[in-house]
Structure 1
Amino acid sequence: MSPNALASDRELVLLSPLSGLILPLTEVPDPAFAQRMMGDGIAIDPTSNRVVSPVDGTVSQLFRTHHALTLTTAHNKKILIHIGLDTVALKGEGFKPLVAEGDTVTAGQPLIEFDMDYLAQHARSLITPVLIDQPKGAQLSGLAQGFVEGGKTPLMRLADSGSTGAQPSAAVSGEPDAIAEVVIPNPTGLHARPSAVFVKERSGFTAEVRLSCNGIDGRSDSVTEIMKLNTRQGDVLTIKAWGDDAEAAVKALVTAVQSGLGEDVSSFKVDSAGVHTPIPEEQPLLSYGSNDPNRLSGVKAAPGRAVGKIVHAGDLEFHYQDHTADSQAEKALLEQSLTRVRNTLSQLVSSLQSEDKKEQSEIFAAHLVLLDDPAIASNVRARIDQGFSAGFAWDKTIEEEVGALRGLNNPILAGRAADIQDVGNRVLADLTGVSVTADAWPENAIPVYRDVTPSDLLTLDLSKVVGLCSLEGGASSHAAIISRSLDLPYLAGVDSQIHDLVNGTQVIINADKGYVQLNPTAEDIERCQNYKQKAEAEYQAALQIASEHAVTSDGTAIEVAANIGSLADAKKAVELGAEGVGLLRTEFLYLDRITAPTEDEQTEIYTDILQAMGPDRPVIIRTLDVGGDKPLAYLPLPAEENPFLGERGIRVGINRPSILRTQIRALLRSAKAGKLRVMLPMIGSLDEFRAVKKLMDDESANLNTSVELGIMIEVPSAALMAQELAREAAFFSIGTNDLTQYTLAMDRGHPRMASRIDGLHPAVLRMIAMTCKGAAAEQRWTGVCGGLASDLDAIPLLLGLGVNELSVSVPTLPLVKAKVRQLDITRCRKLASEALNREDGAQVRALLKQWQEQE
């Protein structure tokens, strides 16, 4: 008799699929499981390496990476078994499937074997959640405790309370049987609580109900899906229903939304047409952009300027049938396309690696991970099972994922939507036979995209393209990184009026100043071309003497170092005359991956970079700087109302010392390979510095080595306490980007504020002056590693304020060194003194222009 004989028509008993110790879901160190986002159930910390079936059923889904599978019982109850945490990143290594998708299995039958030692070394945890996709009326009970034995110990019971299981969803095809729009009255939109009430109201109907808002479609039976709609008060929610009681469902749900779904919405009013009337846009008292009608403003994503012709690009059209009569054939087509795209991406990654283009190769390696994302695969296959074609299922799933990310109030995650869209377009192009390469464009083309993807950039004909624009995106996107490496001017977040320009319209893109110039005169064009020619000549002249030291005309030596983010950057910096590394950003080791880098992995990379710079060039390595705009997939940080004022920078390391300790140990172990200095980001107070210094002193004693420890000055409190900090820190390096943002209280990613962020504002200059004065009082040196150091116009000011070192972007090294050699420190100090007394950044820039004309 099968162990599943314990089940009856009213109760299903699940046997434990593994031997091990029981953990409640709430104790699983992953919010997706702990918060039951994927279903209810229990978790096991395994002592055995073979997963067996907990029930009689069918293998309805076996994940490609074999780290998880879904079983479906005869009563349509689905059980997900997920082996370990973050094991999808192992790409099948350490797993041996013993069944195939579609197989019928019995309780106790072996399903998957896994290498416990390998997983223990390479995955975040072996903890294995077992989840139930509960049908209506179902209740879990009899949850096991303590130690369980695989295939023998009852794990939990699922009671139906009179229901025979989940009813299959009504087919969502054709026009809905009922549809209505309703204005959302809730003060903060449909957040968790009203969403939960909506799901409860919807559960009383058999109709299939779908929702849409803000261009995003979603299910109506999931709190998280409703929250992904990113609704706000006054938004119009569209409710569609298919089925016998569709009309009753829509009517009831409209009433429920209007009543507030459990929240007090009595103060909300709509106009007589039933649509909330928003307050119209007004002309602001201060201008946020250009008042010149011939200039369309944007944000500099990659520097440069060029004359060219507008080409509207990136609007691909894919044609496919919506429905299919052969789901298995469509799944086969999908698998074939995924395989071809996977091979293409793998070859691209290998090619980029062979060309030592590490950043670019890592971007497309991340695309490979996205291609195998189990959540996307699951949604696509579910749609195909409902009778939709592979093209339709893939397109709609990607559309939902992209819409959800773009709707989040996080510029970095919203920027990553372009990567998902990029992967989605590759697969859809393969499915439909559409070419994703650019059409024949005119010479000196400036393509305009809605959002530029990495693949867009790598298919550009750089012999024709002189610059690019996008309506979305920003300076932190993957496209921006690649554009800078290609030396291609890129202006992001451009005014939408650029869409009104016809193809072939001649413009000037000035990414340095953040605008596209319309209707350029012959004089404007000549000026731009002369500027480029002069800039190129100056660069070539500076390159000839890049290896010489940067010494001012009156004999003051200024160290000019490089900001780098990889070994390739280090090698290039040496070629261009870097006297050291003023900032190695270690985030490249941590971002776009599922697990944290190991101590050995970090040690090897730090050692390679130190060796590349040589024994005499100092290398300042900054500890991990994440949080705020740089989240980590494997380090879930709590949702914050103001993430830039919350847990970011050194605060992450202080609150999670194991990550910081691992990095400190790796840094100290690599110290013998070169002249290492360590720098801490976002230090705001003495107690923060002392806490980290003690950790570093302890590890230094254990490893019998020591290095200088300095701090970045990025927040006003550090500048105000500069002398006190200088008594204990070995050096300062000013991060002018964040210091400007925090001093002026303006988010540099904000579409309206970005144009007002000015590092030459007198308030910022005073912070720099205070920092230099405090450091000098304690015989410490001060560098600048922020964007201001690479601004040739700002360099005289920085030297005049007392800056001793400039750490700049790699390409600008020769130009910055040449600029320093032209300057006289005494005159720079006089200039800085005058600038500190100006009223705003515009006055400072006017002063600089006047000063340069007198030079």
Structure 2
Amino acid sequence: MTRITLTAPLSGPLVPIERVPDPVFAQKMVGDGISIDPLDQCLRAPCDGKIVQLHPAGHAVTVATPQGVEVLMHIGLDTVGLKGSGFTAKVKAGDAVKTGDALIDFDADYVATHAKSLLTQIVVTNSERVAAFAPRSGAVTAGQDVILELTLAGTQTEAVTESVKTVASEAILIPNPTGLHARPAAVLANLAKKFKADIRIQKGDQSANAKSVVAIMSLEIGYGDKVTLTARGDDADAAVETLTPLLWEGLGDEGCKPAPAPASVEVSPSAAPAPRPRSEDPNLLLGVAASPGLAVGEVFQIRHQEIQVNETAEGDPQQERDRLDEAVNQAKVQLEALQTSLHGQRAADKAAIFAAHQELLDDPDLLDIAHSALAKGKSAEFAWHRAFTTHADRLASLRNELLAARANDLRDVGRRVLTLLTGAEPERQEPPANAILVAEELTPSDTASMDRARVRGFCTTLGGATSHVAILARSLDIPAVAGIEPQALELPNGTPVILDGGKGTLRLNPTPEDIARIRETQERLAVRRQAEMAVAHEPAVTLDGHRLEVVGNIGGLAEAEQVPGLGGEGVGLLRSEFLFLERSTAPNEDEQFETYKAIAEALGPDRPLIIRTLDVGGDKPLIYLPIPKEENPFLGERGLRIGLDRPEILRIQLRAILRAAAFGKVRVMFPMVGLLSELRDAKAMLEEERQRLGVGPIETGIMVEIPAAAIMAAQFAREVDFFSIGTNDLTQYTLAMDRGHPKLAPKVDGLNPSILRLIAWTVKAAHDQGKWVGVCGGIASDPQAVPLLIGLGVDELSVSLPTIPSIKAQIRNLWLHECQELATRALTLETAAEVRMATSATAAP
């Protein structure tokens, strides 16, 4: 019998593996072994061997002995979420090591305060090679004391005859936020070992033994990666049928839909979504403002009929694939014709939505899921339905509202292809005159084809203000409410209602007086809008000659093209996230450059373009940039912190911005800056890339949206050319209230005197050093806030595009000295309600 001794890789007291506070290790799902509570900060080799796996996060390494025993050392618990912070690898895969060689240095203080535990596990992942484990106890010294003695078993190889068939799964998209790290890999390997079949997991052209934790981790399978399972043996069918749904559901990993993992593995339940606000008035239903405007009409319910499909194919897999390809191509032709029509109507923004639909039809993951189902004898209709609903359901479950809203787009384009495959008649529900449409969900196709002569507005129980349906409604000037209370679906057709898209409400059974008042308001607003548009291109100058710059907040090229026509003097905030969302990989430098260049050219040489660098985080993650679940994502990795932590992404964006500066008045702005060191690091990165490109400097600013930045405004002003105050986040951080909270949201008001004081403080600090200040948050578009901001000394208002003409018109009717007096008085008040009452006399009617 062969024996192997493992020497302590760290100094510290030994802990039985059964006492580790993690069921995956304690239940020996990774393998048998021992744990150490470390007293030093360098992990050393426990034996002679070869490095066969080093985790990308740097927290785990595997050494294979000459006898083929695989020894995994895992520093801490839940340390994969640190993404490498605090770990420095001293070796790489393939290196030969001797007992006592340094493998990983780690910052024990950092890891201890950012992870669940520092306990370090030493386990044999191919425990079937070991006949007996003899763990030691007590305190040990690294490189000297033995911690584990192994007695090897005889070599055992199970023959698999050539006559046994191989079974393959469909394509599986990994839902685990941090991929298949040690815990889910152990769950998979432990379950796979219950089958006699040889089971492999494949990613791209690489495959690994699904019964080996180390082998699985060596594939570096990340969130959203596509994998397949293959099994060969007598119980291959059962293995694939059992393991495939578990992989789909995340193998019990936190942050995924709970999988039926072994009972000993605790699975954290998903947090229940916050309840939506409900009205106490039986004649008033509440929702989310999706598209502003008032509409009077009668309810017309829209219902989408479920298209029935047969699961079993009538033809062979190739014939079914040909049918699917033909239907997809026909859908592309339809979408191309729709885009051409919209471009002819000078509706480039609406056309862009259907261009995105066209791209969805070429999504390789979507098609691979469909093709793998076709190969298993499923019909084209069934395979396609399964592919697009699987993807749509995953998107809809995301916390990021923008990404979740795209699920509806996928269902829309999915139904288009499904209709072509089945030959079903396209749904035609003709609404009557003065219709207020009510539906669980409308698709972009529904919205784009609405008859504006009949439809006055719509509301849906699903969706939000960022959905493509809401975007289309705003571009079509159709009042809309999303997320309306579900009882709206029970309203009979013909019920008289008043829809308020600005407030997000649906008023039932209005009186004739209510209706008359609304119609009078609509007529007055139409006349005022016409007058405002007639002078939209004139500057915004107060009655006593004080000028403000009024610019727009945009999220892409289509909106940039609208800015000049609305009288906008530039763009005060380009949300660059639109380039990074709804895709599986980050945009490259050239793609970003071409987009920024096109936007700069659309604005012209004299209108400034301020590009905010990527602003994402734990509360709005990207598929290809997984961020571990945080206890409070609003206080975690967000904004500039993400860029500094992933400098390769920020550097590419900065290079694209610098290149685009040759085509317009381009400026760069960093979001969520709280520390001077963060800003200086970002500026240093910008300067390095500028010098590499050999281009001139560009104006640089920050968003003041963290209270610390406002309080330290004098120090920050020395480092930048301008400030732009993001009042939305500044308000919720200052008041410690989530603006999306169902109960607290009404109290999150940017006119709270505390916020006004921070704005005043910021403006003074900037002006003292000759720097200008803009406001790009929601209150810049609020008529009641405009005179206050003028009085506080703000130089620029960056507003939502539709409000540009009205905000400019309002400014032309104000006196600077009156605004200053109003602002001084507002700073002495106690509540936002008092401030709003004080401003009501100067706000627009």
Paired with 1:229 and 1:647, the residues of 2 have a C-alpha distance of 17
1:320 corresponds to 2:323: no
Q: By how many angstroms is 1:701 displaced?
A: 4.0
Q: By how many angstroms is 1:798 displaced?
A: 1.6
**Partner letter of residue 487 of structure 2?**
Q
Q: Give CA-to-partner distance per residue, 1:177-211, whole Å, 9 cap, x none.
A: xxxxxxxxxxxxxxxxxxxxxxxxxx6xx9x679x
Counterpart of 1:479 in structure 2 is 469
Match of 1:467 among 457, 464, 478: 457
**Partner letter of residue 536 of structure 2?**
A
Paired with 1:262 and 1:643, the residues of 2 have a C-alpha distance of 26
**Partner letter of residue 600 of structure 2?**
L
Contact between 2:557 and 2:598, CA under 8 Å: does it hold in 1? yes
What does 1:105-504 correspond to in 2, within 5 Å?
129-132=204-207, 164=233, 166-168=235-237, 219-220=245-246, 224=250, 260-263=263-266, 290-324=279-313, 326-328=315-317, 330-349=320-339, 352=342, 357-383=347-373, 388-504=378-494
Counterpart of 1:183 in structure 2 is none
**Partner letter of residue 713 of structure 1?**
V
What does 1:20-39 correspond to in 2, within 5 Å?
none
Counterpart of 1:709 in structure 2 is 700
Q: Secondary structure at the match of 1:530?
A: helix
Paired with 1:589 and 1:523, the residues of 2 have a C-alpha distance of 48
Q: By how many angstroms is 1:784 displaced?
A: 0.9
Paired with 1:453 and 1:347, the residues of 2 have a C-alpha distance of 18
Contact between 2:400 and 2:620, CA under 8 Å: does it hold in 1? no
Counterpart of 1:575 in structure 2 is 565
Q: Which blocks of at least 5 consecutive residues in structure 2 are unaligned?
A: 1-50, 59-79, 81-92, 95-161, 173-201, 220-228
Contact between 1:561 and 1:808, CA under 8 Å: does it hold in 2? yes
For the structure 1 residues 690 and 368, does the alpha-carbon distance in structure 2 shift closer, same or farther, using more than 3 Å as the test?
Answer: same
1:727 corresponds to 2:718: yes
What does 1:540-551 correspond to in 2, within 5 Å?
540-551=530-541
Paired with 1:819 and 1:610, the residues of 2 have a C-alpha distance of 28
For the structure 1 residues 140 and 759, does the alpha-carbon distance in structure 2 shift closer, same or farther, using more than 3 Å as the test?
Answer: closer
Counterpart of 2:738 in structure 1 is 747
Contact between 2:310 and 2:379, CA under 8 Å: does it hold in 1? yes
Q: Secondary structure at the match of 2:702?
A: strand
Paired with 1:699 and 1:556, the residues of 2 have a C-alpha distance of 39
Q: Secondary structure at the match of 1:168?
A: helix
Paired with 1:24 and 1:138, the residues of 2 have a C-alpha distance of 12
Q: Secondary structure at the match of 1:679?
A: strand
Q: Report which stretch shifted further, 627-636 or 703-712.
A: 627-636
**Identical counterparts, % of pairs:** 44
Paired with 2:216 and 2:468, the residues of 1 have a C-alpha distance of 49
Paired with 1:318 and 1:81, the residues of 2 have a C-alpha distance of 24
Contact between 1:581 and 1:618, CA under 8 Å: does it hold in 2? yes
Q: Secondary structure at the match of 1:619?
A: strand
Match of 2:658 among 664, 668, 681: 668
Paired with 2:600 and 2:397, the residues of 1 have a C-alpha distance of 42
Q: By how many angstroms is 1:379 displaced?
A: 4.0
Contact between 1:679 and 1:710, CA under 8 Å: does it hold in 2? yes
TM-score computed with the length of structure 1 as normaliser: 0.68
Q: By how many angstroms is 1:356 displaced?
A: 6.1
1:763 corresponds to 2:754: yes
Paired with 1:288 and 1:142, the residues of 2 have a C-alpha distance of 45
**Partner letter of residue 166 of structure 2?**
N
**Partner letter of residue 363 of structure 1?**
I
Counterpart of 2:597 in structure 1 is 607
State how many pairs are aligned: 654
Q: By how many angstroms is 1:458 displaced?
A: 1.7
1:680 corresponds to 2:670: yes
Match of 1:75 among 155, 165, 169: 165
Counterpart of 1:521 in structure 2 is 511
Paired with 1:350 and 1:581, the residues of 2 have a C-alpha distance of 28
For the structure 1 residues 357 and 744, does the alpha-carbon distance in structure 2 shift closer, same or farther, using more than 3 Å as the test?
Answer: farther
For the structure 1 residues 225 and 400, does the alpha-carbon distance in structure 2 shift closer, same or farther, using more than 3 Å as the test?
Answer: farther
Contact between 1:627 and 1:652, CA under 8 Å: does it hold in 2? yes
Counterpart of 1:695 in structure 2 is 685
Contact between 2:787 and 2:843, CA under 8 Å: does it hold in 1? no
Paired with 1:413 and 1:491, the residues of 2 have a C-alpha distance of 19
Counterpart of 1:194 in structure 2 is none
Q: By how many angstroms is 1:370 displaced?
A: 3.2
Paired with 2:455 and 2:322, the residues of 1 have a C-alpha distance of 39
Q: Give CA-to-partner distance per residue, 1:155-195, whole Å, 9 cap, x none.
A: xxx999xx7255335xxxxxxxxxxxxxxxxxxxxxxxxxx
Q: Secondary structure at the match of 2:459?
A: strand
Contact between 2:254 and 2:267, CA under 8 Å: does it hold in 1? no
Q: CA RMSD in A?
A: 4.2
Paired with 1:400 and 1:608, the residues of 2 have a C-alpha distance of 35
Q: By how many angstroms is 1:815 displaced?
A: 1.0
**Partner letter of residue 787 of structure 1?**
G
Counterpart of 2:495 in structure 1 is 505
Contact between 2:779 and 2:785, CA under 8 Å: does it hold in 1? yes
Q: By how many angstroms is 1:453 displaced?
A: 2.5
**Partner letter of residue 405 of structure 2?**
G
Q: Secondary structure at the match of 1:306?
A: strand
Q: Give CA-to-partner distance per residue, 1:218-246, whole Å, 9 cap, x none.
A: 935655276699658xxxx9xxxxxxxxx
Q: By how many angstroms is 1:759 displaced?
A: 2.5
Q: Secondary structure at the match of 2:569?
A: coil
1:591 corresponds to 2:617: no
Paired with 1:383 and 1:671, the residues of 2 have a C-alpha distance of 48
Q: By how many angstroms is 1:78 displaced?
A: 4.6
**Partner letter of residue 467 of structure 1?**
G
Q: By how many angstroms is 1:385 displaced?
A: 5.5
Counterpart of 2:121 in structure 1 is none
Paired with 1:159 and 1:294, the residues of 2 have a C-alpha distance of 58
Q: Secondary structure at the match of 2:406?
A: helix
Paired with 2:345 and 2:843, the residues of 1 have a C-alpha distance of 41
Q: Which blocks of at least 5 consecutive residues in structure 1 are unaligned?
A: 1-21, 30-34, 36-42, 45-71, 83-126, 146-157, 170-202, 211-217, 238-252, 269-277
Counterpart of 2:551 in structure 1 is 561
Paired with 1:497 and 1:447, the residues of 2 have a C-alpha distance of 14
Q: By how many angstroms is 1:607 displaced?
A: 3.5
Contact between 1:438 and 1:459, CA under 8 Å: does it hold in 2? no
Counterpart of 1:657 in structure 2 is 647
Q: By how many angstroms is 1:820 displaced?
A: 0.2
Contact between 2:164 and 2:234, CA under 8 Å: does it hold in 1? no
Counterpart of 1:816 in structure 2 is 807
Q: Secondary structure at the match of 1:491?
A: strand
Q: Secondary structure at the match of 1:224?
A: coil
Counterpart of 2:770 in structure 1 is 779
Q: Secondary structure at the match of 1:311?
A: strand
Contact between 2:164 and 2:233, CA under 8 Å: does it hold in 1? no
Q: Give CA-to-partner distance per residue, 1:576-633, whole Å, 9 cap, x none.
A: 2222222222233333344433434433443343344333333322222233454434
Paired with 2:584 and 2:398, the residues of 1 have a C-alpha distance of 21
Counterpart of 1:833 in structure 2 is 824
For the structure 1 residues 319 and 75, does the alpha-carbon distance in structure 2 shift closer, same or farther, using more than 3 Å as the test?
Answer: closer
Contact between 1:623 and 1:681, CA under 8 Å: does it hold in 2? yes
Paired with 1:464 and 1:542, the residues of 2 have a C-alpha distance of 27
Q: Give CA-to-partner distance per residue, 1:626-656, whole Å, 9 cap, x none.
A: 3345443443333434333322221222122
For the structure 1 residues 454 and 81, does the alpha-carbon distance in structure 2 shift closer, same or farther, using more than 3 Å as the test?
Answer: closer
Counterpart of 1:248 in structure 2 is none
Contact between 1:507 and 1:517, CA under 8 Å: does it hold in 2? yes
Q: Report which stretch shifted further, 463-472 or 568-577.
A: 568-577
TM-score computed with the length of structure 2 as normaliser: 0.69
Paired with 1:409 and 1:457, the residues of 2 have a C-alpha distance of 25
Counterpart of 1:801 in structure 2 is 792
Contact between 2:470 and 2:480, CA under 8 Å: does it hold in 1? yes
